[in-house]
Amino acid sequence: MSAVAAQYDALQALGVEVFSVSVDSHFVHKIWNDEELSKMVDGGVRFHMLSDQAGNIGRAYGVYDDQQGIEMRGRFIIDPDGVVQAMEVMTPPVGRKLAETVRQVQAFQHVRATGGKEATPAGWEPGKPTLKPGPDLVGKVWKVWNPSME
């Protein structure tokens, strides 16, 4: 979670509200922040750390493991209309790469800003060419994009 805290400024700059969720109480969140996370990231955790002790939120998002009573590493990007645009769910031993979340948010924000008229090809980052789906592009993507541009 310290990795998310370290990317908080980048996410804030994109207007993204961050919520972390685990089955721990909010009291334990406080102690974890005070005792450990604040020593790993300047200023500690500055986003809301939610407590889901009954696992109800985790069940609603399909990440609650009732055998172990814990939640998997699930990351969801929700747009301003409240629609889930992206999800990534991993088992506990492998951590996330937050830079990829930032990239996906930038891409979804770009698509939204164009009213869905543009799509972003694989590996797209701001400044790179987008695709403009339409009859002219069918079978002709090769003219405007290929994997070496990723």
Partner 1 sequence: MVARVGQKAPDFAAPAYYRGGFTNVKLSDYAGKWVMLCFYPGDFTFV
User: Residues interacting with partner 1, by CB under 8 A?
Assistant: 1, 4, 11, 14-33, 36, 46-52, 56-63, 70-87, 92-96, 101, 105, 109
| Kind plus residue range of the DSSP H or E element containing 51 | strand 48-51
Nearer to partner 1, 29 or 41 (CB): 29
Q: Which is nearer to partner 1, 61 or 118 (CB)?
A: 61
* Cβ closest to partner 1, residue 62 vs residue 123: 62
In angstroms, the CA 5 to CA 36 distance is: 12
Reference 133, options 106, 105, 114, 148; nearest CA is: 114
Rounded Cα gap, residues 97 and 75, in angstroms: 11
To partner 1, the closest distance from the beta carbon of 120 in angstroms equals: 16
59 vs 132, beta carbon nearer partner 1? 59
Residue 131 CB, nearest approach to partner 1 (Å): 19
Give residues with Cβ within 8 angstroms of 140, minimum separation 6.
none
**Closer CB to partner 1, residue 83 or residue 122?**
83
Shortest distance (Å) from residue 133 CB to partner 1: 17
DSSP string, 24-42: S-HHHHHHHIIIIIHHHST
**Token output for 134:** 């339409």
The nearest distance, CB 111 to partner 1, in angstroms, is 13
Question: Nearest distance from residue 143's CB to partner 1, in Å?
Answer: 29
State how far the Cα of 115 lies from the Cα of 113, in Å rounded to an integer.
5
